[in-house]
Copies of this chain bind each other. A is one copy, B any other.
Amino acid sequence: MKDAKNVTITDSEWIVMRAIWTMGHATSRELIDAMNELEGWSASTTKTLLHRLIQKQAVAQYGDSRPFTYKPVVGEKESMAAAADDLFDHMCAMRAGSTIAGVIQSRELSRADIANLQAILAEKAKTAPEEVQCNCLPGDQTC
C-alpha cells in the first residue's frame, strides 16, 4: 500500500495512521492506549510503528518538551487514493469495472456518496470508450 508520497505504509502502520488521522494529533501515550485496546498491541509495538512512520515521513513529531505530539504529514484522503490506485495498477485494466462494482456492492455508502458517484459516472459516460483493453501481457491477448 502506497501513501501520498509514494512510500509504502504497511498494514500495521496503516492502523496507526488511521488512529492519528482520526484524532488529528496525539501523544504516544494516547496512541499506545488506543492500539492496545484496538489490537492488543504492547506499548513497544506501537512505539516501533510510530517510529517507522516518522522515518517514512508519514508522521511528524511536534513540541519541544517531552510528551511530544504526533501529527500526520500525509493526508488520509490522498493516502487512500494512492493505496487504491496502487491496487488497481496491479490488476488487469479490463477488470477494473467489475471490481469496482463488487466494492460498491459490499460497502456501506451514504446517500451523498452515491449521489456523488452518480454524478461522476454521468460525466464519465460522455467520453467512455466502447471497450477497455486487457494490459496483462505484451501483445494483444485478452483475458
Is A129 positioned at the interface, with any CB of B under 8 Å from its CB? yes
Q: Mark A96-128, 1 if CB is under 8 A from B, else 0.
A: 111111111111111111111110111011001
B137 touches A117 (CB 8 A): no
Bound complex: CA A130 to CA B93 (Å): 32
Bound complex: CA A108 to CA B99 (Å): 13
Binds B, one of A11-19, A42-50, A59-67: A11-19
A18 touches B91 (CB 8 A): yes
Residues of B within 8 A of A14 (CB): 90-91
A interface residues (Cβ-Cβ under 8 A, vs B):
1, 11, 14-15, 18-19, 21-23, 34, 37-38, 76-77, 80-81, 83-85, 87-88, 90-93, 95-118, 120-122, 124-125, 128-132, 134, 136-138, 141-143
